[in-house]
Amino acid sequence: MSDNEKIRIGLAGGGESSFIGQVHRAAIEKQGEGEIVCGAFGSTRHSSFESGKKFQLPLKRIYGTYRDMFKREQFVPANERMQMVVILTPNTMHYPIAMSAIDARYPVLSEKPFACNLDEALNLSRRVRDEKLIYGIAIPYEGYPVLQRAHALINNENAVGNVRKVVVEYQLGWMAKRLETDGHKQASWRTDPRRCGPAGCLVDHAAHCFYLAEWLTGLEVTEVNADLRASIPGRILDDDATVLTRFENGARGVFLTSQIAVGESDGIHIRIYGDKGAVEWSQRIPQKLTLRTVDGACEVFEAGPSFQARSEKTEPAPFGYEEAYISALAECYTSFFEYLRNPKEIVLEKAAFATVPKGLRAVTFAHTVLENIVPFNENTPAIKWTQLVVPPVPTL
């Protein structure tokens, strides 16, 4: 794979009306080293072809299903054929599309979650390992320059000392009404277990908190104690989730997440407290990081494009300012492309995308939380604390 040629991308999902699809297409364009050459863009053949035509792709490179795409791309000339697939579908399709991509020998970059249950996650981990294919998950926090600085302050410079407490908030209010009954596409699939999986807000928001907390602190969550609920009458999946966590060094944490927190729309906010200091970062002002020390000193670090505080003219997206998120996601693509071109020359643990082990840990986190909230029977309460133990990936 030449360093000079663009990486040819096929999209599974991510059609014109897809919220996350718009973000990924913007990140690919901003990054500049990849191009979308084909796709199966929608849940129906009609929607896929409508999107593909608006993306100005040749009709022969627009496919009705992902299976069609993997099958027919094999007959496209090698210098035109897609070289990787990006999965941007509702959650429950991530696993079958990824498995089909592995069968067709295509590297994968997928939106989270890695899979919707532990059995899928273990099987997918095994297939990726055994087939020695490249797989990444598009969690772009490592693409924020100021978060790289935060990671160094905590893990290399010991600026906060021994971590004692981690507080992560990801609270939005856009689903405070029952939008799913009004034909709202994004709300419809997020509230449907057949398309979203066994959890709603837990996977949509708390998984972000989990990724960010473990990466920034360098510590693994070992136990969870959770409270999930569907706040809106008639809604099946949780739209509000609070998870207490314990980390491997004894630190305590809390993930406060919601889809029904009226008035909230500023993305994720994290505070990490140690015995020497504390760091704070918010997607509301994504270029700024605050470090406070135990003696009262305060230092502000800035990196990346500048954004003003929220105003009527600059509304944050669900993950803070869209431009900053797109820039971070573009870094995720840069890292993934680098790994595609030089798979033996990059330290995968330093990649700006989530690796398979991180994806498996996140699925294990969700699985453990769901286990924690289920009582033994009708007469016994849920377990207060449940250990988070990633099972070994099976071998044949």
**pLDDT for position 346:** 64
How do 240-247 and 252-258 pair as beta strands? antiparallel
DSSP 84: E
**pLDDT for position 359:** 97
**Could you give the CA distance from residue 111 to residue 65 in angstroms, rounded to a whole number?**
18
**pLDDT for position 311:** 47
On the question of a cis peptide bond just before residue 113, with omega within 30 degrees of 0, the verdict is yes
**pLDDT for position 4:** 75
DSSP 130: H
**pLDDT for position 308:** 56
DSSP 160: S
Q: Nearest 5°: phi and psi at 87?
A: -100, 120
**pLDDT for position 233:** 95
**pLDDT for position 319:** 77
**pLDDT for position 375:** 76
Residues sharing a CB contact under 8 Å with residue 84, sequence separation 6 or more, in sequence order: 7, 8, 9, 10, 106, 107, 108, 109, 134, 336, 340
Domain annotation for the chain: domains and CATH numbers: 7-141+329-355 (3.40.50.720), 145-319 (3.30.360.10)
Q: Quote the distance between the C-alpha of residue 389 and its chain's center.
A: 21
45 CB neighbour count, 10 Å cutoff: 14
Cβ proximity of 53 and 15 under 8 Å: no
> Model confidence over 40-82: pLDDT tens digits?
999 899 999 999 999 999 999 999 999 999 999 999 999 999 9
**Could you give the CA distance from residue 62 to residue 45 in angstroms, rounded to a whole number?**
9
Residue numbers of the chain with a pLDDT score lower than 70: 1-2, 305-316, 345-347, 376-378
